[in-house]
Amino acid sequence: MTPYELLILVGIIAVARLLLSIPGFVVRSHGKTRTIAHEYLDPFIIAGLAAWLLITFVARTYYIPSASMVPTLAVGDVLLVDKFEYRFHAPHEGDVVVFPPPLPSPDDFIKRVIGLPGDTLRITNGVVYRDGVALREPYESAPPGYDLEIRNYDIYVNDGGGWEPLDPSQANIPPRSQWTAPNRIPPHCFVMLGDNRNDSEDSHIWGFAQDAGRFASGPRRGEPAGFTGRAFLIFWPPSQVRVLHG
């Protein structure tokens, strides 16, 4: 249930509560409506408002719909997402993040932060190098079957057919004026990859995710960007319950 749907439900119950408090209702029911309101509806309204505040500003649940984060996350896992943490600091490398992608989608995406603003980044022979240092990635399902480099104010990908830059009409690639260097990730931009590298629609296809501002290019150019929050706990199914670490 979305925060909007929950608020509508609480509103409907609040209207019912108001009707039950009308003197005519109370008299005809010999006071039973007042008892129902106090014992059942009032607590539900209070709990509903508390839940709405929680999922709007503090935490929310997220259902895993695809295999892009295998083996870390399986299809059907349900996560708790901290929506509060990124109000105080930017995402860290290795965080598992829920965010609106820079391409049309009815749902948020979930990927791992691999590259931060100001980093250099390349993938060569299945190894990710950030600022020239090879990353140790025990969470990875298999090495990526493509090479990647950030250079010439773009993300270049070689999936076996030669190097090609991402097309700004199809991917979120900021204009040169927003870059600090031609080979470094621009401000507020992040490279996000799935742990299942060869079965993941991520930054090697649609460019950079952003933690603020509006998407610079691509199908959602001009729309608000940001991060929904950090996934920190698998709480369903019970056999998979565990804290997620970067």
Q: Are residues 144 and 236 in the same domain?
A: yes
Q: Are residues 138 and 159 in the same domain?
A: yes
Cα 99 off chain centre by: 3
At 218 the pLDDT is: 97
Q: Are residues 138 and 174 in the same domain?
A: yes
For 166-181, give the DSSP string. Answer: PPTTTSB---GGG-SS
Residues 65-88 pLDDT 10s: 999 999 999 999 999 898 888 988
83 is catalytic: no
What is the spatial distance between Cα 74 and Cα 41, in angstroms, rounded to a whole number? 38
Beta carbons of 120 and 173 less than 8 angstroms apart: no
- The per-residue pLDDT of the chain, averaged, comes to 85
pTM of structure = 0.78
68 is catalytic: yes
pLDDT at 179 exceeding the cut of 90: yes
pLDDT at 18 exceeding the cut of 80: no
What is the spatial distance between Cα 58 and Cα 52, in angstroms, rounded to a whole number? 10
With cut-offs at 50, 70 and 90, classify the pLDDT of residue 6.
Answer: low
Q: Are residues 144 and 35 in the same domain?
A: no
Q: Are residues 156 and 193 in the same domain?
A: yes
Q: Are residues 196 and 116 in the same domain?
A: yes
Q: Are residues 168 and 49 in the same domain?
A: no
With cut-offs at 50, 70 and 90, classify the pLDDT of residue 226.
Answer: very high
Domain span at residue 118?
60-243
Mean pLDDT across the stretch 25-34?
Answer: 50
Q: Are residues 86 and 129 in the same domain?
A: yes
Beta carbons of 59 and 14 less than 8 angstroms apart: no
Q: Are residues 207 and 105 in the same domain?
A: yes
Domain boundary among 41, 57, 73: 57
Q: Which of 29, 66, 111, 141 is catalytic?
A: 111
Give how many domains the chain has, as a whole number: 2
Q: Are residues 53 and 91 in the same domain?
A: no
What is the spatial distance between Cα 65 and Cα 124, in angstroms, rounded to a whole number? 29
What is the spatial distance between Cα 34 and Cα 36, in angstroms, rounded to a whole number? 5
Q: Are residues 27 and 104 in the same domain?
A: no
Q: Which of 29, 32, 66, 68 is catalytic?
A: 68
Lookup: tokens for 196: 């299942």
CATH number where 219 lies: 2.10.109.10
Q: Are residues 19 and 89 in the same domain?
A: no
